[in-house]
A and B are shown apart, each in its own frame.
Chain A
Amino acid sequence: MSGHVSPAELADAATRVRLQDLTMVTDAGMGHIGGEFSVTDILVTLYLGVCDVGAETAQDRVVLSKGHAAAALYATLAEAGLLARDELSTFVQAGSALNGHPARTKLDAVEASTGPLGHGLPIGVGMAIAAALDGSEGRTYVVTGDGEMQEGSNWEALMIAAHRRLDRLTLIIDRNGLQQGAAVAATSDLEPLADKLRAFGWAVREVDGHDHAALQAALSSVPWEAGRPSAVIARTHKGHPVSFMSDVAAWHHRVPSSEEASRARVEIAS
């Protein structure tokens, strides 16, 4: 994949990924559709519009730390040609490689096994250190949820990355504002998040996490400051773009009824 895919093409791909995701979750009767829909545009932009992944010579790495959004990852990998499309129908079925949370031992295209929160960023730091030791130009992108930033291990990793001047490491926070049970702000507030990240030594930008052009421009242009790792706070909506799911915490892991799925399908495709 390369950066030559246009934002319009990324938008079309994201629509296909969301429709695929909806099918997988409704067929399986499980998933985390709210957070999958909030992170879809980030994943699609990374895999199709920014990163060099998949080929023998590929140097970039993507770690989805919010592993509960596995269905969105699988659908994106299929869209990027890194996973056979007919495997998607096996999502969470007995013996499938498509676990409810992604496993690197089950799928070659998965860079890290994730699920418990706060694991992906430390792993990404290790990957970035390995690349630096190799003198590689490869970039490492880690995608976390925003509630996930409540995990202390992330703040350990933020310090290590800044201290080691890992400027080929990029963190993208899917800032949908909701965690499983309630708003992040009502649970253990992160704000002022950008200031905190800057204080930890990171270069920070805030973008609309559903704007493919903005995401592609920000993610393709790292490092923004030599010697500093980059953090994108991607403002998103849980359940986007489905009107009755958007910004509703209950859709963290609710499964749509067939009637809801039909309505969602129309809204996603329109």
Chain B
Amino acid sequence: MTLFDCRDAFADTLCTLAEKDDRIVAVVNDSIGSSKLGGFQQRFPERIINVGIAEQAMVGVAAGLAAGGRIPFVSAASCFLTARAMEQIKVDIAYSRHHVVLCGQSPGISYGELGPTHHSPEDLAWLRTIPGLEVIVPTDPAETAAAVTWAADHDGPVFLRISRTGVPAVFDAETPFHPGRAHMLREGGDVTIVALGTVVPRALAAADSLSARGIAARVLVMSSLVPLDTEALLAAARDTAGIVTVEEAYTCGLGGAVAEFLAQRCPVPMRMLGLRGFAPTGSVEYILEDSGVTADQVASACTELVERAA
């Protein structure tokens, strides 16, 4: 199976958009290479603003650029962008209602062996509490391209979580992106798996193995964490035995968002699979296995919910 690095789709799409709209600028913290923006830099040298290793100022500068009529795409490792500049994200971008696209590169545990200093398993949980900030986690190259295109046109603050971890193509190239709308990739009435980002293939593999055992698992891809597709969640809660969430993040990201909503509207049994604590040294695969974010564990959690309901 061919695996893709979503940063390529991000950078290619941004170049294409910037060709047509000279308001688009990139703002980076010495992160041109790690964002794969070398091509953008060559084509638009005046429109890449490299502030150096200065994340707080980077986000403030982006706010000022937006005030000056530009559409800034801030592109930096998610661990530094979100943790170092959280107050600027809150005040300068979200509270100020600026059209700035914050691109959290190589998020979650995609830096694997580099260790917890370079991981951002907390970014989804933090960012979803900030009013007015849309939080989008594209699944694959096609959805990355669609989300970048949408974000360039959306008149408000956006966070895009873009991974370097290889992922298979899940969507067709022409699939449009709609905020607040989940994709149902597997229909099923027994149990529901809600997933986003790099671990969507694990959810699909779990559904396929469950299907072989006669359990029909619905798979919802919740690329739009904020706004959440509450209709799809309500339907899943009513139609199936329970919900299993899967994410390359602490479970207070997607799992917490789903639980918060359903606890108030239609409580159902849930299991949340995601990262736990500071990761041990190891590869992305090793850390996900260590955290129990595997297709087998997703299938087990689904089976448990189905048996519990029986």
Contacts and interface: CB of A to CB of B under 8 A. Distances in A.
Mutual binders A and B: yes
B64 A160 contact: no
B60 A119 contact: yes
Contacts of B51: 156, 160
A205 interface: no
Contacts of A160: 51-52, 54, 57, 61
Interface stretch (B92-100, B162-170, B234-242, B251-259): B92-100
Nearest to B60: A122
B56 interface: yes
A122 B91 contact: no
Contact of B69 (A112, A121, A123, A134): A134
Interface in B248-273: none
A118, A129, A163 pick with most chain B CB within 10 angstroms? A129
A131 B68 CA distance: 7
Secondary structure class of chain A's binding surface, majority of residues: helix
A124 B54 contact: no
A127 B63 CA distance: 8
B46 A124 contact: no
A119 B54 CA distance: 13
Contacts of A156: 51-52, 54, 56-57
Interface string B180-197: 000000000000000000
Contact of A105 (B61, B87, B96): B96
Interface in A72-111: 103-105, 111
Given A103-B95, A133-B47, A153 B60 contact: yes
Interface in A244-263: none
Given A133-B46, A156-B51, A126 B56 contact: no
Nearest to B61: A126
Nearest to A67: B91
B61 A129 contact: yes
A111 B88 CA distance: 16
Contacts of A124: 64
A54 interface: no
A130 to B, nearest CB: 2
B97 A122 contact: no
B134 to A, nearest CB: 17
A125 B52 CA distance: 14
Given A113-B92, A126-B65, A130-B69, A105 B49 contact: no
Given A118-B56, A134-B68, A156-B57, A126 B91 contact: no
B246 to A, nearest CB: 36
A115 interface: yes
A16 B256 CA distance: 53
A125 B57 contact: yes
Interface string A116-156: 10110111111111110110000000000000000011001
B6 interface: no
B70 interface: yes
B62 interface: yes
B25, B61, B69, B92 pick with most chain A CB within 10 angstroms? B61
Nearest to B97: A105
Interface in B57-91: 57-70, 72, 87-88, 91
Interface string B29-42: 00000000000000
Given A103-B95, A113-B91, A134-B69, A125 B47 contact: no
Contacts of B67: 61, 104, 111-112, 123, 126-127, 130
A130 B66 CA distance: 8
A116 B91 contact: yes
A157 interface: yes
A133 B67 CA distance: 13
B88 A119 contact: yes
B64 A113 contact: no
Nearest to B27: A126
Contact of B56 (A115, A128, A152): A152
29 contacts: A104-B97, A105-B96, A112-B64, A112-B67, A113-B91, A113-B92, A113-B96, A116-B87, A119-B92, A123-B67, A123-B92, A125-B64, A126-B62, A126-B65, A126-B67, A129-B49, A129-B61, A130-B64, A130-B68, A133-B25, A133-B47, A133-B68, A134-B69, A153-B54, A153-B56, A153-B57, A156-B51, A160-B51, A160-B57
Interface of B: 25, 46-47, 49, 51-52, 54, 56-70, 72, 87-88, 91-92, 95-97
Kindly list the 3 A-B residue pairs having the minimum CB-CB distance in the complex, ordered from nearest. Answer: A126-B64, A130-B68, A122-B60
Given A115-B91, A134-B69, 13 more contacts: A103-B95, A104-B67, A114-B91, A122-B59, A122-B88, A123-B61, A123-B63, A123-B92, A125-B61, A126-B63, A152-B56, A156-B54, A160-B52
